Structure 1
């Protein structure tokens, strides 16, 4: 990895290895070596966080558009809107050995109040003045390089972004995500008692149907977030594992919140707010890691009773 560009080439090599392992699981010991080395090479002490704005080098801006996988960007005007200084922020982690290659980045919207749908964030017109915001919304978090799978950057990035925002914008009072629930539809398909709801969701819905279906969707969504488990007893949902492991609370479910075809397919349009409360992050992180405790907001706790 001492040769010019070699670290990034090794990351690309592991990406190929992970693909090959799906055909030949016997390659797993090689991957263990890669994972061990990368955990050392990409130690938090080597990472630098940068705020990216419209004046960043074009090579970085192009990579942000390429690597955005949560809410894909529709060209340069869309990217420019997401970097607007008045009501948006974007932060990324970089490593000296990989140059201008962002390892992970988070997109932030500055809003009044906690959002319950992604559409208004993605389609909001340009803000002509600095937002009178009280809430920072993390609405898209992207790991850029598949070859760094399993190397955790997100927990450091979230905490550092919160610290930076609280210093720059002391009027902010709430730090929250608007996150997808990517495993919800697949899990719901395994629940025998949910057959009627699945049929109703598959048939589409109008405003009247939304009002009738929402309590059921929220109740099943609450069970999925709070009770569905993967191997090892961790939450089944990968986004839930990420934010709960970082010390957030599963605060509020929102439906319908994302009408993009991919979101309808993976989660029936369900989204969730994970709440980061600065004075409780460490305690919740420790309780989750030590005991598997899932911190729940009042709305989700109440939906579990339905």
Structure 2
């Protein structure tokens, strides 16, 4: 990795943007300002008006925001009859003008409004925050899902891979960003600055994050990595205060032990797969001796699933906390292999994510997360997913096309032996 300053690197990625002059007072309703922005053709006046709208929105309470979203949803909707007429005309004429009319009428006007709102400096962050509010509003007003689809459509374009910038987070990273890493850590809480230092400073620890040029001080998603000699079987060992750090060149396993999304307004826009694969490539380039890339992942719905199966003796024993560690491990393993949701996909969301990205299940461990949350969500069980770089595409295709869950050879043999034993006992 380059040793240039973090901010220096980020500044080189910033796109040139026009700087809007500060917003001035505007007594019109936000509805009227939005309609005026849609009618505006002047770039400078449009940027100032967009800034005024964003400023007004920021001052709104929950009820006012809901009314704003309803305005977007109803008044800036497509006109189905006009669209149907354009399709009919194009079917008869095959004319480019009629084809162009279909494109214009098929897109709700709110999409163009959002594009124009995205002109001032800092507008992208404001719109991401706006979508966070919209996601909450959809929970009580499901009809707003149409507008949410339009937000998601545009955000996927604005945050596509071509715009994302990968940066290593280190102890030298500006404190303002380090504070956000502490805040956004969603898997294994960072308790204080000493805890954060143990995750960033030693040679055998790494952290990487994706940033967007329009939000250079806001991580989108980050992953914490431990460089080890063996595949770990517990998070306690990885995060131990008393472990002896190794030199990076003396390790051969990269462990992705925590992946945290940072922006609630970007929910449904996945960066995780891109992040893991790019970080693996970066690490392999820096440390060619690295041979194994695995996660140490939670199993967040195991306890919930077992509660639904509590009529079975094993589920009841595991839930009660009286089961032997091997019994917990077997319950977790069987859950990952057989528990499905209504669509026939793995019931566990973390499993769906990694298996869908081409990983294979490497090993399952009991007593791997003895924190209060670890015991609550999975009775302490965790799982390693392995990213075998030469097999990622093949595993992905098997999972997507056939629903096959790929297993590492040792785990495959274990499952086969267990199945044989169960048949013999039947």
Q: Shorter chain as normaliser: what TM range?
A: over 0.9
Are 1:72 and 2:194 an aligned pair?
no
Q: 1:300 to 1:119 in 2, by over 3 A?
A: farther
Aligned to 2:137: 20
Count of paired positions = 299
How far residue 199 of structure 1 moved from its aligned partner, in angstroms, is 4.1
Aligned to 1:37: 154
How far residue 231 of structure 1 moved from its aligned partner, in angstroms, is 3.5
Structure label with greater radius of gyration: 2
Aligned residue among 277, 283, 287 for 1:169: 287
- The structure whose residues are more often strand, as a share, is 1
Aligned to 2:361: 250
Aligned residue among 283, 286, 302 for 2:394: 283
Structural mapping, 1:153-192, within 5 Å: 153-192=271-310
Aligned residue among 227, 233, 236 for 2:344: 233
Q: 1:74 to 1:178 in 2, by over 3 A?
A: same
Structural mapping, 1:61-140, within 5 Å: 61-125=178-242, 127=244, 130-131=247-248, 132-140=250-258
2: distance between equivalents of 1:251 and 1:104? 24
2: distance between equivalents of 1:126 and 1:296? 30
- What are the ranges of 5 or more consecutive residues in structure 2 without an aligned counterpart? 1-117
- What are the ranges of 5 or more consecutive residues in structure 1 without an aligned counterpart? none
**Contact 1:84/1:126 (8 A) holds in 2:** no
**Contact 1:253/1:300 (8 A) holds in 2:** no
| RCO comparison, higher one (Cα < 8 Å, 6+) | 1
1: distance between equivalents of 2:176 and 2:405? 40
Q: 1:30 to 1:110 in 2, by over 3 A?
A: same
Q: 1:124 to 1:33 in 2, by over 3 A?
A: same
Aligned to 1:216: 327
1: distance between equivalents of 2:245 and 2:259? 26
Aligned to 2:6: none
**Contact 1:51/1:90 (8 A) holds in 2:** yes
- Residue by residue over 1:15-46, the C-alpha shift from the partner in whole angstroms, topping out at 9 and shown as x without a partner, is 11111211121111111111111111100000
Aligned to 2:406: 295
Aligned residue among 236, 249, 263 for 1:145: 263
2: distance between equivalents of 1:166 and 1:124? 27
Larger mean CA deviation between 152-161 and 185-194 belongs to 185-194
**Contact 1:222/1:300 (8 A) holds in 2:** no
2: distance between equivalents of 1:59 and 1:11? 19
Q: Secondary structure at the match of 2:300?
A: coil
TM-score (norm 1): 0.92
**Contact 1:250/1:300 (8 A) holds in 2:** no
Q: 1:267 to 1:7 in 2, by over 3 A?
A: same
1: distance between equivalents of 2:201 and 2:243? 8
Aligned residue among 140, 165, 169 for 1:48: 165
2: distance between equivalents of 1:245 and 1:164? 22
- Residue by residue over 1:125-153, the C-alpha shift from the partner in whole angstroms, topping out at 9 and shown as x without a partner, is 36565142111100000011111111011
Indicate the RMSD between aligned Cα atoms, in angstroms.
Answer: 1.7
**Contact 1:178/1:271 (8 A) holds in 2:** yes
1: distance between equivalents of 2:318 and 2:333? 17
TM-score (norm 2): 0.67
Aligned to 1:267: 378
1: distance between equivalents of 2:152 and 2:244? 43
How far residue 71 of structure 1 moved from its aligned partner, in angstroms, is 0.1
Aligned residue among 127, 132, 142 for 1:10: 127
Q: 1:299 to 1:25 in 2, by over 3 A?
A: same
Larger mean CA deviation between 42-51 and 183-192 belongs to 183-192
Larger mean CA deviation between 125-134 and 291-300 belongs to 125-134
**Contact 1:222/1:301 (8 A) holds in 2:** no
Larger mean CA deviation between 122-131 and 217-226 belongs to 122-131
Write out the 4+ residue segments of structure 1 that deviate beyond 6 Å after TM superposition.
none
